[in-house]
Amino acid sequence: MQNKRKEILYKDWIYEWLLEKKIYIKESTYACYSNNIFNHIIPELGNYYLKDINHKIIQTFLLNLANNENKLSSKTIKDISIIIKGSIKKGINEKLIDYFELDFYYPKDEKKKNIYILTKEEQEILTEYAIKHFSNQSIGLLLALYSGIRIGELCALKWEDIDFKSGIIKINKTIQRIYIKNMDGYLSKVIVTNPKTKNSYREIPINKKLLKLLKQFNGNKKGFVISKNGNFVEPRTYRKYFNRTLKVNSLRHINFHSLRHTFATNCISLGANYKTVSELLGHANINITLNLYVHPRMNEKKKCINLVSKVFEEKIN
């Protein structure tokens, strides 16, 4: 029986591992795992026997993912390596494969992602449009621009999450469309789930004037804020509304996440404490905020050098 078991193909083994993991992980994580397994791992490694998989085979596979013409991001490759490690550890623990080291190398992304920030004029145009054409939909533009809320969090926001007395919005869930791949094909569904990370659970104070505007639409307590009928609006639908808004106002095409970037940049440039900005954004740690948004201009660098060099200047004089 054990000899037969050792002849199992890796594609069968990793699918079995995936099904076992299903009850322990978030549905969105399961979707990510299934897509990476069926799109990348099985096509390249699936026909190896489990007992024949070794460090060199996996390492070569990961490097190819980073270097071929359909080059994957380092994050995706990292996700894939985590899946492989988990499935191989199970095989080692069950003595179906000899132990080998599970440390792997893959190149990091050299190119930094571009962060697009709305200009002051663009912010004013978008704000004026949202107020002039005030609706449940336009409320979302103002919330994103003036609170930094993510689009999934915005779509999941219900009226019951807004404490009008204290002027606080509670972020405690997110909406996303997931794509789950299995032996039979793709399954697509919209889910309401926990926020991105534990730090994403947060309370955001809202400006009094914005709060006053929100009160105009405060209807069904169980309903979703940016919806006319109280049902949820999924992110891709709201992105279409955002894109139409940009077009109507002759604004350049940017992604919705730029509103969050703009909020964060405004906070930093206006002198807000970095830790405070990090908590408002729901970042896992302050380093994420610093790396994304704190980029001193040359005049600020010169000011810093001049402050440090005061003693030197006094000695010269």
Model confidence over 132-142: pLDDT tens digits?
A: 999 999 999 99
Which pair of tokens denotes residue 11?
């594609």
Under the banding of pLDDT at 50, 70 and 90, the label for residue 1 is very low
3-state helix, strand, coil in the chain (%, to 5): 55, 10, 35
Same domain, 164 and 41: no
Higher pLDDT, 111 or 58: 58
Is a pLDDT exceeding 70 seen at residue 196?
yes
Model confidence over 262-278: pLDDT tens digits?
A: 999 899 888 888 899 99
> Does 309 map to a domain?
no
- The pLDDT, as a whole number, for residue 6 is 61
Tokens 């955001």 locate to 204
Is a pLDDT exceeding 50 seen at residue 4?
no
Higher pLDDT, 315 or 166: 166
- Tell me the percentage of the chain whose pLDDT exceeds 70: 92
The CATH number that applies at residue 190 is: 1.10.443.10
Same domain, 275 and 202: yes
Supply the DSSP string of the chain, one letter for each residue: -HHHHHT-BHHHHHHHHHHHHGGGS-HHHHHHHHHHIIIIIHHHHTTSBGGG--HHHHHHHHHHHHHSTTPPPHHHHHHHHHHHHHHHHHHHHTTSS---------PPP-SPPP-----HHHHHHHHHHHHHT-SHHHHHHHHHHHH---HHHHHH-BGGGEETTTTEEEE--EEEEEEEEETTEEEEEEEEE--SSGGG-EEEE--HHHHHHHHTT---TTSBTT-SSSS---HHHHHHHHHHHHHHTTPPP--THHHHHHHHHHHHHTT--HHHHHHHHT-SSHHHHHHHH----HHHHHHHHHHHTHHHHHHH-
Same domain, 76 and 124: no
Residue 265: Cβ within 10 Å count = 19
> Does 302 map to a domain?
no
Same domain, 178 and 62: no
Same domain, 202 and 251: yes
- Tell me the percentage of the chain whose pLDDT exceeds 90: 67
- Report the C-alpha gap between 120 and 115 in whole angstroms: 16
Amino acid residing at 55 = H
Same domain, 158 and 275: yes
Same domain, 21 and 136: no
Under the banding of pLDDT at 50, 70 and 90, the label for residue 71 is confident
Same domain, 162 and 268: yes
> Does 304 map to a domain?
no
DSSP three-state, residue 49: strand
**Phi, psi (5° rounding) for residue 80?**
-65, -40
> Does 101 map to a domain?
no
Residue 8's nearest CA partner among 104, 96, 120 is 96
- The pLDDT, as a whole number, for residue 315 is 63
**Chain mean pLDDT for the chain:** 89
Same domain, 63 and 128: no
Cβ atoms of 6 and 53 within 8 Å: the answer is: no
The CATH number that applies at residue 39 is: 1.10.150.130
Name the residue range of residue 265's domain.
120-293
Model confidence over 116-164: pLDDT tens digits?
A: 889 999 999 999 999 999 999 999 999 999 999 999 999 999 999 999 9
- Report the C-alpha gap between 147 and 140 in whole angstroms: 10
Cβ atoms of 112 and 74 within 8 Å: the answer is: no
> Does 316 map to a domain?
no
Model confidence over 211-234: pLDDT tens digits?
A: 998 888 766 677 899 998 888 999
- The pLDDT, as a whole number, for residue 268 is 87
> Does 178 map to a domain?
yes
Model confidence over 32-65: pLDDT tens digits?
A: 999 999 999 999 999 999 999 999 999 999 999 9
Same domain, 149 and 279: yes
Which pair of tokens denotes residue 259?
């509103």
> Does 235 map to a domain?
yes
Amino acid residing at 158 = K
Which pair of tokens denotes residue 197?
């990370």
Same domain, 153 and 43: no
Report which listed range, 85-89, 116-120, 227-231, 299-303, is most confident: 85-89
Q: For the chain, what is the domain count?
A: 2
> Does 147 map to a domain?
yes
Higher pLDDT, 292 or 261: 261
- Tell me the β-bridge partners of 193: 174
| Rg (the chain; Cα; Å) | 25
Under the banding of pLDDT at 50, 70 and 90, the label for residue 246 is very high
Same domain, 256 and 161: yes
